A and B are shown apart, each in its own frame.
Chain A
């Protein structure tokens, strides 16, 4: 059974076809990358997978369950978590509060009115693990708004991890990061491989080829090819459309 399966996803804005009959099949534990030129419709695709955009037609199934009509919060509670390309955190909360909230959201509701959130040992444990995995353990008390850009991206990831995901939708996690920061994230994601299924949208080709089990190439909203990194490197159409502009190291 696939972890996440889409069948014929279509999204139109007026006359413009942004997502053109996308069918993906991501296996449990797989790290599946989506690459493609700018404007290929990657963010639109992820928004349909996370539930923030309603597709015009087509379906999404999560571990066999049809989730096409579910909202984002419902999908999150089933273990389908996402991170955002443009950092979306709680600026006025501390790092720890951010991550603990994320841990709460995935498991239960927030209709508790008396005991402090941070006092919950189980959530704190969850949060600590996520913070350590993302290298933010030392900054737990800092207000999120005070973090440097790279750290904010890491917090973005930590929040997704804290929610005990079964599947991670990562929208350009390394956007705007320095080389060292990117390498740290790559190392972290490599450590996560196998634990969760991951759909990774990225422009950083080094990262993509280092991490991905399989890669899908999205051009003008259409998946033109899906294959292993080696197959992608060898595929002539892919080379011309996308990789032709950038050299990649083997």
Chain B
């Protein structure tokens, strides 16, 4: 793994992480607590995007419903808190169990299809979850609910901006590290192989669906944990966290950053949320510009920021993929000629 340390995408990411480590102090000195929350949010979304990257980038599973798990994570804080439970470990347990079970069931059903069908089913399941939470009137229903009691671990309170910031940063670093190792570990290799050629994976003795389901469940749980952090940061949980708009946002982050790369989700989350902030300052109708920008990204189909950075360093023509460059969009499992 040491040869990756000097790649541009890695260097930029390390730089970003170093800056992120300095933000709490800087925000405190400049008396601008907004930035603490802002960057915490970026990191939390980076974790959620990394989770999705496992299923989508490595596994080729285009899930339009991952925001569901983000929402479940948020509610695994909100609902126990409503009943007076503020033990962070219980919140975490609830989050992991529910996300795991829901991920297992929805993943197993969704994996009965591929391609277009898979995309639509994950979307539909997320919508189903949305309706469930909207109908939970005692927990705020459509409007959502404030978190009565934030998660407490060993006396530390995740409701404090500073605490949740450091937890998010540490978790982000751990997640990125694990994703880097996972990418070349047997599980990651089988998963990435299944994305390229599921038939071949089966032919060499590995049941591809099993690995895809496992990746889906893992990514669901990790996304849920991000949701837990989000609820603690914002002090709020609402069904609007699990709309497909949010799922779409996560996908944009991953593609923007570089799909299937390790650092893409972080770079993408940074670019996405940063761009959003900048545009908001420029025009009230920033969403229109944003939408157009996303259309352009989709049509132009670049390799993302990570791929761009790595491409700069390798000085090879863009068509020759370096081993770690983000693969061009053709790799996500696509039905070959037959009806989806």
Binding site for B on A (CB under 8 A): 50, 52, 71-73, 76-77, 81-82, 84, 88-94, 97, 101-102, 104-106, 109-118, 143, 146, 159, 163
Query: In the complex, are the beta carbons of A112 and B197 less than 8 A apart?
Result: no
A163 to B205, CA, bound (A): 9
B209 to A: closest C-beta gap in Å = 10
Say yes or no: B185 contacts A90, CB within 8 Å: no
The residues of A that contact B185 with a CB separation of less than 8 Å are 112-117
Quote the shortest CB–CB distance from B309 to chain A (angstroms): 19
CB contacts between A and B, total, < 8 Å: 107
- Given contact pairs A110-B186, A113-B182, A116-B185, A76 touches B205 in the complex (Cβ within 8 A): yes
CB of B257 within 8 Å of the partner chain: no
- Contacting residues, chain A, for B331 (C-beta < 8 A): 92
- Chain B positions 174 through 204: 1 when the CB is less than 8 Å from some CB of chain A, otherwise 0: 0000100110111111101100110111111
**Complexed CA–CA distance, A81 and B323 (Å):** 28
CB pair B181–A110 under 8 Å, yes or no, is no
CB distance from B322 to the nearest CB of A (A): 9
With both beta carbons as reference points, the residue of chain A lying nearest to B199 in the complex is identified as A88
Closest Cβ neighbor of B191 among chain A residues: A110
Within 8 A of A (CB), among B312-327: 320-321, 323, 327
Identify which of B178, B201, B204, B320 gathers the most chain A CB atoms within 10 Å of its CB: B204
CA distance A88 to B336 in the complex (A): 13
In the bound complex, residues from chain A placing their C-beta under 8 Å from that of B1 are 116
Q: How far is the CA of A77 from the CA of B206 in the complex (A)?
A: 8
B199 to A110, Cβ gap below 8 A?
Answer: no
Instruction: Report whether B186 and A111 are in contact in the complex, using a CB–CB cutoff of 8 Å.
Output: yes
Which residues of B are found within 8 Å of A113, using beta-carbon distances?
A: 178, 181-182, 185-188
Rounded to whole Å, the gap between the CB of B198 and the closest CB of chain A is: 10
Give every chain B residue within 8 A of A102 (Cβ-Cβ). 204
User: Closest CB of chain A to B206's CB: distance in Å?
Assistant: 5
Total interface residues on B, using CB and 8 Å? Answer: 31
CA distance A73 to B207 in the complex (A): 6
CB of A12, distance to nearest CB on chain B (Å): 20
Main SS of chain B's interface residues?
A: helix
Contact status A88-B197, CB under 8 Å: yes
The verdict on B308 contacting chain A, using a C-beta distance below 8 Å, is no
CA distance A104 to B200 in the complex (A): 13
Q: Are B190 and A110 in contact (CB under 8 A)?
A: yes
Instruction: Write the chain A residue with the least CB distance to B1.
Output: A116
Inter-subunit contact B204/A106 (CB<8 Å): yes
Chain B residue with minimal CB distance to A108?
A: B186
Q: Report the minimal beta-carbon distance from A51 to chain B, rounded to whole angstroms.
A: 9
For the complex, give the distance between the alpha carbons of A117 and B323 in Å: 15
Return 14 A-B CB contacts under 8 Å, by A number. Answer: A50-B203, A76-B203, A81-B204, A89-B200, A91-B197, A93-B189, A104-B186, A111-B187, A112-B186, A113-B187, A116-B184, A117-B184, A117-B189, A118-B184
The answer to whether B196 and A92 touch across the interface, beta carbons within 8 angstroms, is yes
Whether, in the assembled complex, B37 has its beta carbon less than 8 Å from a beta carbon of chain A, the answer is: no
Alpha-carbon gap, A130 to B321, bound state (A): 26
